[in-house]
Structure 1
Amino acid sequence: MRHPEFPLSAELIYLNHAAVAPWPKRTSTAVSKFAQQNTLYGSSCYLDWLQKETQLRVQLQTLLNAPDATDIALVKNTSEALSFVAYGLDWHSGDNIVSSNEEFPSNRIVWQSLSELGVEFREADLAQAATPEDALFALVDKQTRLITISSIQFASGLRLDIDRIGQFCQQNNILFCIDAIQSLGAVQFDVQKCQADFVMADGHKWMLGPEGLGVFYTSPASREKLKLTQYGWHMMDNTHNYENKPWSIHPTAQRFECGSPNTLGIHALSASLSLLLETGMETVEKQVLANARYLMAAIKSRPYLQLLTDETAKLQSGIVVFKHKQLSKEALYAHLQKNHVVCAMRGEGIRFSAHFYNSTQELDKAMLLIPD
């Protein structure tokens, strides 16, 4: 039986939340209401829209356990926020950045582009040490300014111990940047506990929101280390005083929002987050991980399949990757797509990413559609 908030088309089995998620019913309703309001009244309700923007910041503060809602900036996507960090810091020739060899391009190419400034980007092989964290630490030296890492790797589901990395960074006076797009909305996240300086994520994956709107967290101290690379009316202090001469930079994270807010996206993401927060992230994480374990057990029980996700890892995620021992990943992916199993081809195999609302009946049906 379908979850009442996800009346997906009957033939679909949706296991692709690590890519682009379907919207909850309430999100579709919120967008429709906003569109109708705008059609009938234009911007007459703009003050209400500002209240919704404030509400979304508080929701994101809760999701990250940020100290204050003023630490939250609403950005277009993860890549934009990463660029704010990469081109906001004051680099010196000889500095280096430590990351991994498993990062999504967004958390790789922006740092590699700094080579023109004499900054080295170091990629740790996460499998070549006692722990993935140790692999990162082994590349650190006195010239390391930043460790940047995905909290959960998109192609393997590997979940790193970000609390341990954060403690290491604090002890060694290194900035810590987290691409949290595969964590937020799927597992509990505590930015204060992991002591991150910068955290970013788009809303269209596990947060169940639209593309084109994301979150950028900066700690107050780290925020002051970033020079601004975009300018506009919305990033000024006393934002709505349009005769603001001379002007000053907004004291909060709003300084990273140079222009008009994405009001449609704000209404949508706020509605999606309301479902996650009402459900409770502890409950969401418990079910996401239970579904992942269920899939891993089902995969292991079939002799013609090979589980690629490490089921023995201390920390688990909602991502499960496997391959067929006879069929190529391309052939298996095409077969699953033809049979309406929405998934992804990542790494060496097929990636399933079930959310909290997916039922074991759906998971069983997906597994039965895999040929032996």
Structure 2
Amino acid sequence: MEDFKKEFPLTQHYTYLNTASCGLLSRSLVSWRQEHDKNLMEGGSIFRDTHKQHIREIRSGLSRFFSTSEETIALVPNFSTGMNALLDGLAEESKILLLEGDYPSINWPAEFRKFELCYARIDANLEQNIEEAIVEHNPDVFAFSMVQYISGIMMDPNFLNRIKAYHPNLLLIADGTQFLGTTNFSFSESPLDIIGASSYKWLLAGYGNGLFMIKPEVQHRFSLRTIGFNSADAGFGQKDEISFVGRMEPGHLDTLNFGSLGESVTFLEKLGMDKVEEHLKDLIHTAKSEFVKRDLLDEAVVNRETHSTIFNIKGDKELFERFKSEKVICSLRGKGIRVSFHIYNTREDLHKLLEIIDSY
């Protein structure tokens, strides 16, 4: 993987291990954003009149990047907004399986509605726990994060294929906020029925933009209540002919924010997601090996074959402050310190982290 210090200037001054909290904006994306707003400032509605074509281009780029059709992609300001819109359209008698301690934007929208809920435990035997819960409770929906935001435990994609094969009517809804942008993901080939994400982390697109991908064969299971003039493509006579994706996009879409997503996806596409995935796998493998040597990981993580780009290492606030003083940026999460790796991270970043730990 190439040297990104010029493209991501913060990495020239800090060891940035905090993409799980906030992905970095690239220099080229900021340049594009400045040009966009300059054009809006100078052109007003003349510039804005081109927005429909721009949105079509963004959607087309996303469909290519995620190997899906444009009709499956809904542009949303963030994951939470899209998740709430979907659950408002799901039958109230639905039974939903959740994971204990999963990200609040997955669990809270379900828990604050009248659904019947059941839970599976997150530990080294995550997939077995889920299977047992499915057999015991026979849920209609399983909603979960592809990657756990505190521990970094990642759902086994092969397991998802298996449960979809054995439970074809089980609706699989995933939060991909800590997942999309780390691997070469094909939605059309995935067992997932729905995946959504905010794009400010691994997709490196900043705040105020995200997406949901919803397979056509499950759209009939929702009666979406969201609607607005943009849903009907600004046509008064089209109120009763709104597509499913249109219902997810009731208001006018911001070409700055969604354009940022389009630009970032193009940037990752040019790098090659196979190369991105290979770089991250190598870094993750090395990091896990070093962390295990130092007894820094929870047993639930140590005993799993595959892992994500996020680790929660044993450490207290004093060690966290030591990291900060050495310009290593990470987060206090759960019972430890969360570090996370992306394309702009190198083995040198890992070595600096380990040096501080060893001297602590």
Q: Give me the TM-score of the superposition, normalised by structure 2.
A: 0.91
Give the stretch that moved more between structures: 338-347 or 22-31.
338-347
Aligned partner (choices 43, 54, 57) of residue 56 of structure 2: 54
Which residue number in structure 2 is paired with residue 343 of structure 1?
Answer: 330
Q: Distance in 1 between matches of 2:284 and 2:47?
A: 43
Q: Counterpart of 1:352 in 2: which secondary structure?
A: strand
2:264 aligned with 1:234, yes or no?
A: no
Q: Distance in 2 between matches of 1:358 and 1:121?
A: 40
Which residue number in structure 2 is paired with residue 258 of structure 1?
Answer: 250
2:129 aligned with 1:135, yes or no?
A: yes
Which residue number in structure 1 is paired with residue 103 of structure 2?
Answer: 104
Which residue number in structure 2 is paired with residue 319 of structure 1?
Answer: 310
Q: Distance in 1 between matches of 2:158 and 2:49?
A: 39
Question: Aligned runs of 1:1-372 on 2, under 5 Å?
Answer: 2-8=4-10, 10-66=12-68, 68-92=69-93, 95-114=94-113, 117=114, 119-127=115-123, 131-140=125-134, 141=136, 143-172=138-167, 173-236=169-232, 239-241=233-235, 244-245=236-237, 247-302=239-294, 306-308=296-298, 310-324=301-315, 328=316, 330-370=317-357, 371-372=359-360
Give the number of the structure whose residues are more often helix, by fraction.
2
- In structure 2, the CA distance between the partners of 1:78 and 1:71, relative to structure 1 (3 Å rule), is same
Q: Distance in 1 between matches of 2:11 and 2:189?
A: 40
Asked if 1 retains the 8 angstrom alpha-carbon contact of 2:160 and 2:192, the reply is no
Asked if 2 retains the 8 angstrom alpha-carbon contact of 1:77 and 1:212, the reply is yes
Q: Distance in 1 between matches of 2:271 and 2:11?
A: 23
Q: Counterpart of 2:118 in 1: which secondary structure?
A: strand
Asked if 2 retains the 8 angstrom alpha-carbon contact of 1:234 and 1:257, the reply is yes
> Shift of the alpha carbon at 1:287?
1.0
Unaligned runs of 5+ in 2: none
Which amino acid is 1:84 matched to? A
Which amino acid is 1:281 matched to? M
Q: Distance in 2 between matches of 1:343 and 1:123?
A: 30
> Shift of the alpha carbon at 1:21?
0.9
Which amino acid is 1:156 matched to? S
Q: Name the % identity.
A: 23
Which amino acid is 1:102 matched to? G
Asked if 2 retains the 8 angstrom alpha-carbon contact of 1:60 and 1:215, the reply is no
Q: Give CA-to-partner distance per residue, 1:10-49, whole Å, 9 cap, x none.
A: 3211111111111011110110000111111113123543
Q: Counterpart of 1:205 in 2: which secondary structure?
A: coil
> Shift of the alpha carbon at 1:345?
1.5
Which amino acid is 2:12 matched to? A
Q: Counterpart of 1:138 in 2: which secondary structure?
A: helix
- In structure 2, the CA distance between the partners of 1:246 and 1:33, relative to structure 1 (3 Å rule), is closer
Which amino acid is 2:330 matched to? C
Q: Counterpart of 2:141 in 1: which secondary structure?
A: strand
Q: Counterpart of 1:182 in 2: which secondary structure?
A: coil
Q: Counterpart of 1:210 in 2: which secondary structure?
A: coil
Q: Give CA-to-partner distance per residue, 1:128-187, whole Å, 9 cap, x none.
A: 7xx422211211246511011111111111111234324424532211101111110012
Q: Counterpart of 1:297 in 2: which secondary structure?
A: helix
Q: Distance in 1 between matches of 2:241 and 2:324?
A: 49
Unaligned runs of 5+ in 1: none
Asked if 2 retains the 8 angstrom alpha-carbon contact of 1:199 and 1:218, the reply is yes
> Shift of the alpha carbon at 1:222?
1.5
> Shift of the alpha carbon at 1:252?
4.7
Q: Counterpart of 1:73 in 2: which secondary structure?
A: strand
Q: Give me the TM-score of the superposition, normalised by structure 1.
A: 0.88
CA-based RMSD of the aligned residues comes to: 2.1
> Shift of the alpha carbon at 1:200?
0.5
